[in-house]
Amino acid sequence: MEFLQDHSVHNELLLIFISVILGLFIGAEREYQNKSAGLRTFILICFGSCLFTILSIKIGIGNPDRLAANIITGIGFLGAGVIFKGDNKIEGITTATTIWATASIGMAVGSGYVYLSLLGTALILFILHSLTYLQNFIDNNHKIREYKIAVTSSEQIRHCEELFRNNNLKHLMIGQQYTLGNLSTTWRLTGKNKRHETLIKQLMNDPKIIAYQF
């Protein structure tokens, strides 16, 4: 009996070690990308999820899924903490979902499904790293930006629309603000990234444009 207990402890220590290593791999990628949640965060998430899963199996006899369900709830609060609103979009969604996925890796290790956790880690790293190139390709060919452009009169709005058309950018006016002789208009422009860059240079050198922001 004592031998079986020692063997079980050794297995659990090995699982915890594996969870730390897998969390390190994912955390290293996030650290390299300079994200808000980095190396230590992901190691602790994977390790903690693994340990809680082991404990749920040990002390939750008859109803081991209760602790596992609470792990998911706790990870949800942790993920929400890294999501914030940027100037034009919500930031931190990818990091939050990576936290959620890393917790599942830790739970898989704690349950003894090591091969499944290895496959899951490989897929997470592939999605985070390799699919960035696909995302950049889509972004370069279908870039959506919101511009705030200030002019002195409503007639010059047509001048802005002409600039957009000349650069093959689809445009949609989504707001206006008038302040002390200046008319600020917010536009949502869609098109290739290089068209946006050309437009920015034109806006900088256009005497009819008082200011712009995106």
HEC readout, 70-137: HHHHHHHHHHHCCCEECCCCEECHHHHHHHHHHHHHHHHHHCCCHHHHHHHHHHHHHHHHCHHHHHHH
CATH 3.30.70.260-classified regions of the chain: 142-213
CATH topology of domain 142-213: Alpha-Beta Plaits (3.30.70)
Q: Which of 46, 51, 45, 54 is nearest to 22 (CA)?
A: 46
Residue 140 pLDDT: 83
Tell me whether residue 191 is exposed, middle or buried, using C-beta atoms within 10 angstroms of its C-beta: 0 to 12, 13 to 18, 19 or more: buried
Could you tell me if 96 and 83 are in contact, meaning their C-beta atoms sit under 8 angstroms apart? yes
Plot region of 62 (φ>0 → left; ψ -120 to 50 → alpha; else → beta): left
User: Can you list the residues of the chain whose pLDDT is less than 50?
Assistant: 1-6
The model's pTM is 0.69
Q: Which of 47, 6, 15, 12 is nearest to 115 (CA)?
A: 15
Phi, psi angle pair for 130, to nearest 5°: -70, -40
Task: Give CA–CA dist 148/184, Å, rounded.
Answer: 6
Residue 23 pLDDT: 93
Residue 101 pLDDT: 92
